[in-house]
Structure 1
Amino acid sequence: MAETIEEIASRVRELRELSKVTAEEMAEYLKVPLETYCCYEEGKTDIPASKLFEIGQRLDVDMNLLLTGEEARMRIFTVTRKGEGVEVERRRQYRYQNLAGKFLSKKAEFFTVTIDPMKEKPTAYSHPGQEFDYVLEGSLKFYIHDHEIILDEGDSILFDSSYRHAMEAKNGRPAKMLVVVI
């Protein structure tokens, strides 16, 4: 199931208003200009996954609610069958699939992310916490803070995600990785 930018933006706006948080407060919390945040809520600009994660934390809601409009309900376990995770396109070169959206009170977010090759260097971003990435297919160049690291299939990296980071598929082919955001 793929959710549209407009559907997600509408849920973010509604949940923010229900939580009595102003757009100005949210923009300040996310460390983005108010104009950028307003574009997020209007569906004019795609909300980066890292910012969705932060919005969920600020509003004290599970990311699945932001992505799908459905509350997480599973307490003991949840199974996501191949190809059935909620798909989210956050940036042109990244395609996310949420792998555990239905589990209640998660301590982390779990995704597969497919990175398409691009001609230009990817935009770096940051978010609170830590991130673990395991390369499932292909080869990636990671940009983290002042470092560039090549990771191939089977390689992994754990890092402080408050540092700006980005990934770039190498060799003209898409790459796929398992991502855990803590």
Structure 2
Amino acid sequence: MSKNKLGKKIREFREFRQISREDLALNANLDKDQLEKIEEKNVMPSLGHLIKISRALGVRIGTFLDDQDQLGPAIVRAGEEKSSLSFSTKDESTREHLNFFSLAQDKAGRHMEPFIVEIEPSKESDYKLSSHEGEEFIYVLEGSIEINYGKDLYRIDKGDTIYLDSVVAHNVHAADNKPAKILAVVYTPI
């Protein structure tokens, strides 16, 4: 899924439902200008903002990430993950980079979003916390990560897992200033 396809899909769903950009921004708790940048200027929203947009439109998040409508099982062979998405945050000064590779982009009607996520290290420690509805399961494939979760900090090393409630403000970032790779499964109720 390319950035321009994501913004176009959001705009098409909004227009199909006859919702103004102002109303969608209000219902998704976003700035109208920010929504315009997502729809028209190919600015990639944060995962939390994409979840809010999907909930405000009454669709699952995968609706915007799907390229096909595979009703049966979707198989992704090693090395054939779908092209990367990088989710940004509203704060353009955020220095972290999370590159998402969808593992179920071809599966229609799914309620979970599995990703391989490459986490690039950040030179700064002012991690921005975000929250959204749902739950997340993370398995560290390579390296180590740290997760700010509410007021706590957890270190998760290669082979470790964590299951968390996404409504608690959190941030996932690379530990020890080294890149990491995780399997993340995000569940968001409609």
C-alpha distance in 2 between matches for 1:85 and 1:53: 22
Which deviations, in whole Å up to 9, do the C-alpha atoms of 1:60-113 show, x marking residues without a partner? Answer: 445444235x342233x1101123222211135100011012122112111111
Unaligned runs of 5+ in 1: none
C-alpha distance in 2 between matches for 1:62 and 1:84: 24
SS at match of 1:54: helix
Other-structure match for 2:41: 43
Match of 1:82 among 78, 82, 85: 78
Quick one: which amino acid aligns to residue 80 of structure 2?
E
Please tell me whether the aligned partners of residues 23 and 34 of structure 1 are also in contact (alpha carbons under 8 angstroms): yes
Distance 1:59 1:85, change over 3 A: farther
Distance 1:84 1:65, change over 3 A: farther
Correspondence list, 1:51-130, <5 A = 51-67=49-65, 70-75=67-72, 77-86=73-82, 87-91=84-88, 93-120=97-124, 121-130=126-135
Distance 1:169 1:141, change over 3 A: same
Other-structure match for 1:20: 18
Please tell me whether the aligned partners of residues 102 and 114 of structure 2 are also in contact (alpha carbons under 8 angstroms): yes
RMSD: 2.0
Distance 1:82 1:53, change over 3 A: farther
Superposition deviation, residue 51 in structure 1: 2.4
C-alpha distance in 2 between matches for 1:85 and 1:35: 32
Q: Which deviates more from structure 2 when the two are superposed, residues 163-172 or residues 133-142?
A: 163-172
C-alpha distance in 2 between matches for 1:139 and 1:72: 35
C-alpha distance in 1 between matches for 2:76 and 2:127: 29
Distance 1:85 1:61, change over 3 A: farther
Identity %: 28
Other-structure match for 2:182: 177
What TM-score results when the alignment is normalised by the length of structure 2? 0.83
C-alpha distance in 2 between matches for 1:89 and 1:83: 18
Quick one: which amino acid aligns to residue 69 of structure 2?
A
What TM-score results when the alignment is normalised by the length of structure 1? 0.86
Correspondence list, 1:145-164, <5 A = 145-164=150-169
4+ runs deviating over 3 angstroms: 56-65
C-alpha distance in 2 between matches for 1:29 and 1:155: 37
